A = this chain, B = another copy of it.
Amino acid sequence: MKNIYFTAGPAALHPKFEEFIHQAIDEQIGSISHRSAQFRKIYQHCVENLRTLMNIPASSAILFTGSASEVWERILLNLVEHESFHLVNGSFSDKFYKYALSSQKFAHKYEKPLGEGFSYAEIEVPDYAELICVTQNETSTGVQMREADIHKLKRSNQKKLMAVDMVSSAPIPELDFDLIDTAFFSVQKAFGLPAGLGVWIANEKCLEKSKKLSKIDNINIGAHHNLPVLWKNYENFETPATPNVLGIYLLGKVAEEMNKIGIDAIRKESEEKAKKIYKYLETSSLCSAAVKNPEHRSKTVAVADTSKPSKGIMEALKAKNMIIGSGYGPNKDSQIRISNFPSNSMEQVETLLEALKELE
């Protein structure tokens, strides 16, 4: 019997994954040249469907890397000459911050304890920060930053660039890509695909900045996957190096499928499943929402404090072929993490909650 994955990524695969992989085998996608018209069509198809799905303007480029973690580095090298500013409230936002330090940037951070989120009004952006780095969904703690707060933060810092990590939430948040300069995600979360592909959205202001930086002595924007080279290739729907062609093909198929359903319907279903999960956590004696402020609770990764060690809960669910995640880092044993991605149906979520109830 197959497992149902409710993990934060790698996660449950899209219900049509097997159908799409068989199409890929039939079309010999694993063998086609990344310099062929066939590949350019695959890239274009993927871009067009992501544009529709996430309402990304035609002026922004959609680029492919090996992972979203790679994009952290590419953004810091290409968009920051001296100083970046990071909102940090968990392992992944902290990694983004630490990548800035490793990239020898002067990195500022505004840090909050695990489980707490950021509201627009409390954030003071340092004067000299060139880039504001926001983690829309902090996968380690299940904390989200609401779209409205992200938008206000950018509007009040028009001259700075803003980067949004939406690794474990895209395409669910309704972000305004006319406002946000750059964002990125990976495919093994809400898109329900095997890992191995990062997606980087960037606007023309980002390109301009990276070109400016490339002319400054002692600034290294990177040899591999720097923004000007990625962008130039993107204009022909190509990539500088051989990319994960199969991954791009599958992402295009999943995005197309999502567009058939419609992003509004997908977001509405996510919202309803999230409500069901958090409602259960409010009344359960086994687990309670780890994020106290309901406005900061993630719609895609719910984290719960548990009254029993998480290991036992995970094992009991595994015996019923349901896989959830442990807490992250210091909360490994005292929390569980349940993803709420589009690949898991309402029925599957209900089955999981029933199984949790039986463990109370």
Contact surface of A with B, Cβ cutoff 8 Å: 2-3, 5, 7, 9-13, 17-18, 21, 25, 28-34, 65-70, 72-73, 76, 98-100, 102-104, 186, 188, 193-197, 218, 220, 222-226, 240-247, 323, 325
Contacts and interface: CB of A to CB of B under 8 A. Distances in A.
Nearest 5 pairs of A and B residues by beta carbon: A66-B66, A196-B244, A69-B241, A102-B223, A30-B194
A306 to B, nearest CB: 19
A224 B10 contact: no
Contacts of A193: 30
Nearest to A325: B33
A173 B100 CA distance: 40
A31 B25 CA distance: 20
Given A5-B28, A11-B31, A195-B246, A67 B241 contact: yes
Given A5-B31, A10-B32, 8 more contacts: A7-B31, A10-B31, A21-B25, A29-B194, A72-B224, A195-B245, A196-B246, A220-B220
- Chain B CB count within 10 A is highest, among A7, A10, A25, A33, for A10
Number of copies: 2
- Chain B CB count within 10 A is highest, among A12, A196, A218, for A196
- State the majority secondary structure of interface residues on A: loop
Contacts of A21: 21, 25
B223 A72 contact: yes
A305 to B, nearest CB: 21
A137 to B, nearest CB: 15
A3 B29 CA distance: 11
25 contacts: A3-B28, A7-B31, A10-B33, A13-B30, A17-B30, A21-B21, A30-B188, A30-B193, A33-B325, A67-B241, A69-B224, A69-B241, A70-B70, A70-B224, A72-B224, A73-B223, A73-B224, A76-B223, A98-B223, A99-B223, A102-B222, A186-B242, A196-B196, A196-B197, A196-B247
Contacts of A70: 66, 70, 224-225, 241
Nearest to A244: B196
Contacts of A5: 28, 31
A12 B33 CA distance: 11
A25 B17 CA distance: 9
B226 A9 contact: no
A97 to B, nearest CB: 11
A192 B359 CA distance: 47
A337 B247 CA distance: 26
A182 B225 CA distance: 22
- Chain B CB count within 10 A is highest, among A18, A33, A186, A323, for A33
A241 B244 CA distance: 16
A345 B2 CA distance: 36
